[in-house]
């Protein structure tokens, strides 16, 4: 009961509502915008590539820019330096920008549809970065106490699960043109509810941006008049960025989360591919069955559930210790599935669930807490008056974003293409379906006749599955080892700084 009471906090609830509102919007956006622009607006694929390239450039630029604006006030708008006011004023506008995608400018003129997508992405992502960087700042500035920060992230994970369940009905709607208005109506409802929740949270939050008391005391004792550097120049922003980027704990934070994102995105992008190749084709699941749907839901949600289970150990032993324990568990999971092999389909299914649970567990939440420690260390090391939370979060995002695009490239080039993906995907699927239906799987007679009908040979499909299995098992092990190395260095620097100063913000 005492542990449950320690979880209760009105401030954490309000910050969690921001996460719920943003997640509800972003889940619909990420899962639907490509489908809508192709199926409903008839966007030519060639235009999509151009839009995505331009968007990636802007996406990389606007992250640190939002950090400078919120921490240094480079834009001349003082309200933007107040996290609460950003949520209050920009949150509803961000929710409104979500609606830009769902009302077409054209369904026949390709360049106009592409312009619609480009403008919508630019506006939406800019406001998303602004609001979520303020949210991350609130998560760490809510308190310099480790337990308080973990509690805020626990609320965020709970609301993440709820947000995922609330938008699930969108998947069950009729996917036909005449029912598109129903989808638009649901998007308007999601936007209105999210805008109301962010406005409510921004209005009622009472979190004050902390001040470095040592900084003020030093100035007072020296008898100086405190004159802050004018922070409206981009030169100062670049100097601050260089200060942050060369700090050992920041480098460790970026490196560790880079490997975690690689692993998360690999599972996110290839969960269906791995499952269908190794479990559906071998008869463990029936394609398009309810059991298979439940398997996907479990694989995608078990990470948040595991995070909630681990919140007490995280409070007690620290974030880095829990991350390292999960990575050790990952290595044992990999070694076990390699030992039993891909023919043990039950073991492969259990591996997929456990791997997704570990890779998704705290892939954002744990590193928000660690980033909070980096913010505290940076403020003390550089004798800053106030924490540069959003600069650190947005710089981290700048360096980590390549992992989003790099993960699928590495999986494809190192593993899947060696086995013939994607050329053999459909042929091998038909090969297994026909052999299962005839109860003659791997029967030599059926194999010979199948090659004459244009099917791949058993050897080709076996080789295809072997490379799929290696990608499933080996890539997570590489990422877990890389993440563990950076976390170990971070633990070293954490002890070094604590021993040198006798103080650490989260203690």
Q: Where are the domains of the chain?
A: 1-209, 230-507
Which pairs count as long-range contacts for 327-330, CB under 8 Å and 24+ apart, including other chains?
Answer: 327/358, 327/480, 327/481, 327/483, 327/484, 327/487, 328/484, 329/354, 329/358, 330/355, 330/358, 330/476, 330/477, 330/480
Where do the DSSP E strands lie in 414-469? none
Which pairs count as long-range contacts for 241-248, CB under 8 Å and 24+ apart, including other chains?
Answer: 241/64, 241/391, 241/395, 243/378, 243/382, 244/378, 244/388, 244/391, 244/392, 244/395, 245/395, 247/374, 247/377, 247/378, 247/381, 248/489, 248/493
Q: Reply yes or no on whether the pLDDT at 452 is more than 60.
A: no
* Range 1-209 classified under CATH 1.10.468.10: no
Q: What are phi and psi of 74, to 5 degrees?
A: -65, -20
Q: Dump pLDDT digits (tens) for 99-133.
A: 999 999 988 888 999 999 999 999 998 899 889 88
**Mean pLDDT score of the chain, rounded to an integer?**
81
- Fold agreement (1-209, 230-507): yes
Instruction: Note the pTM of the prediction, 2 decimals.
Output: 0.74
CATH class of residue range 230-507 = mainly alpha
- Residue 448: predicted pLDDT: 39
- Residue 226: predicted pLDDT: 39
Q: Dump pLDDT digits (tens) for 304-332.
A: 889 888 988 888 888 999 999 999 999 99
Q: Reply yes or no on whether the pLDDT at 4 is more than 70.
A: no
Q: Using 50, 70 and 90 to split pLDDT, how confident is the model at 171?
A: low
Contacts of 152 (CB under 8 A, 6+ apart): 9, 11, 12, 15, 16, 138, 139, 142
d(CA 222, CA 258): 42
Q: Reply yes or no on whether the pLDDT at 397 is more than 80.
A: yes
Share of the chain above pLDDT 70, in %: 82
Q: Which residue has the tokens 């998560």?
A: 139
d(CA 125, CA 276): 33
């Amino acid at each position: 009961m005492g542990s449950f009471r320690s979880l209760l906090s009105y401030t954490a609830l309000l910050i969690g509502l921001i996460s719920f509102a943003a997640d509800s919007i972003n889940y619909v956006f990420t899962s639907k915008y490509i489908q809508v622009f192709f199926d409903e607006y008839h966007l030519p694929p060639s235009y999509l590539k151009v839009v995505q390239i331009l968007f990636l450039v802007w996406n990389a630029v606007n992250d640190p820019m939002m950090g400078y604006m919120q921490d240094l006030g480079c834009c001349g708008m003082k309200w933007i330096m107040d996290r609460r006011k950003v949520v209050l004023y920009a949150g509803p506008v961000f929710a409104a920008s979500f609606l830009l995608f769902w009302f077409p400018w054209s369904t026949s003129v390709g360049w106009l549809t592409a312009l619609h997508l480009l403008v919508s992405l630019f506006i939406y992502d800019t406001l998303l970065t602004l609001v979520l960087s303020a949210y991350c700042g609130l998560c760490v500035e809510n308190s310099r106490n480790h337990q308080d920060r973990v509690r805020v992230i626990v609320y965020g994970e709970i609301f993440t699960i709820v947000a995922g369940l609330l938008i699930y009905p969108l998947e069950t709607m009729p996917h036909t043109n005449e029912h598109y208005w129903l989808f638009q109506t649901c998007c308007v409802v999601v936007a209105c509810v999210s805008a109301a929740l962010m406005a409510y949270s921004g209005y009622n939050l009472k979190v004050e941006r902390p001040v470095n008391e040592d900084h003020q005391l030093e100035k007072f004792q020296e008898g100086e008049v405190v004159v802050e550097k004018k922070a409206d120049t981009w030169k100062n922003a670049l100097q601050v960025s260089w200060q942050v980027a060369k700090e050992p704990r920041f480098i460790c934070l970026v490196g560790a989360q880079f490997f975690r994102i690689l692993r998360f995105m690999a599972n996110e992008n290839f969960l269906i591919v791995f499952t269908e190749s190794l479990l559906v084709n071998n008869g463990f699941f029936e394609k398009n069955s309810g059991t298979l749907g439940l398997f996907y839901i479990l694989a995608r949600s078990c990470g948040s559930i595991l995070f909630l289970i681990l919140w007490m150990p995280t409070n007690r032993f620290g974030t880095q210790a829990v991350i390292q324990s999960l990575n050790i568990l990952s290595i044992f999971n990999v070694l076990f599935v390699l030992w039993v092999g891909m023919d043990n389909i039950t073991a492969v299914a259990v591996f997929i669930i456990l791997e997704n649970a570990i890779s998704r567990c705290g892939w954002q939440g744990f590193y928000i807490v660690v980033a909070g420690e980096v913010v505290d260390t940076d403020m003390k090391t550089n004798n800053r008056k106030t924490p540069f939370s959003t600069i650190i979060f947005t710089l981290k995002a700048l360096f980590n974003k390549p992992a989003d695009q790099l993960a699928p490239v590495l999986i494809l080039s190192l593993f899947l293409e060696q086995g013939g993906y994607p050329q053999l995907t459909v042929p091998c699927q038909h090969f297994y379906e026909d052999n299962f239906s005839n109860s003659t799987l791997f029967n030599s007679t059926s194999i010979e006749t199948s090659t004459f009908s244009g099917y791949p040979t058993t050897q080709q499909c076996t080789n295809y599955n072997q490379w799929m299995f290696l990608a499933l098992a080996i890539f997570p092990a590489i990422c877990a080892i890389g993440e563990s190395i950076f976390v170990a260095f971070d633990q070293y620097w954490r002890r070094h700084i604590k021993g040198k100063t006798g103080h650490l913000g989260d203690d």
